[in-house]
Amino acid sequence: MSSSDLLLGLSQKALHLLQEDADKIEKLIEVQMENLTTRKCPLYEEVLDTQMYGLSREIDFAIRAELITENVGKQILVKLERNLAQLYEALNKKE
């Protein structure tokens, strides 16, 4: 296996793992959107914020290690940030 094959494999693995973590956060957002009848929960928001921060650090590491491009990392975060903004907007409307 050549070094370029190894790097490509590592890049694909890094992207897969980052996407798995992003999917977990996405699921948390979906669950909360489905339960908008419940009141705003600061603890749940804290968990989401912490998960988002952790993912952003993972993405930063993968970018610095040149396993993914900055553009790919930003795409993952932007999608989640949009969904999170929609959740917070919906929760604020319920108040």
In the chain, how many domains are there?
A: 1
Using an 8 Å Cβ cutoff, are 33 and 90 in contact? yes
Domain extent for 68: 3-94
Per-residue model confidence as pLDDT tens for the chain (95 residues): 788 888 889 999 999 999 999 999 999 988 888 876 555 677 778 888 999 999 999 999 999 999 999 999 999 999 999 998 888 888 777 66
- Encoded tokens for 59: 């993405």
Contact 10, 67 (CB under 8 A): yes
Find tokens 């900055």 and name the residue: 70
Residue type, position 62, single letter: A
CATH of the domain at 35: 1.10.287.750
Structure confidence at residue 42 (pLDDT):
75
- pLDDT of 20 reads 97
pTM, entire model: 0.84
d(CA 79, CA 65): 22
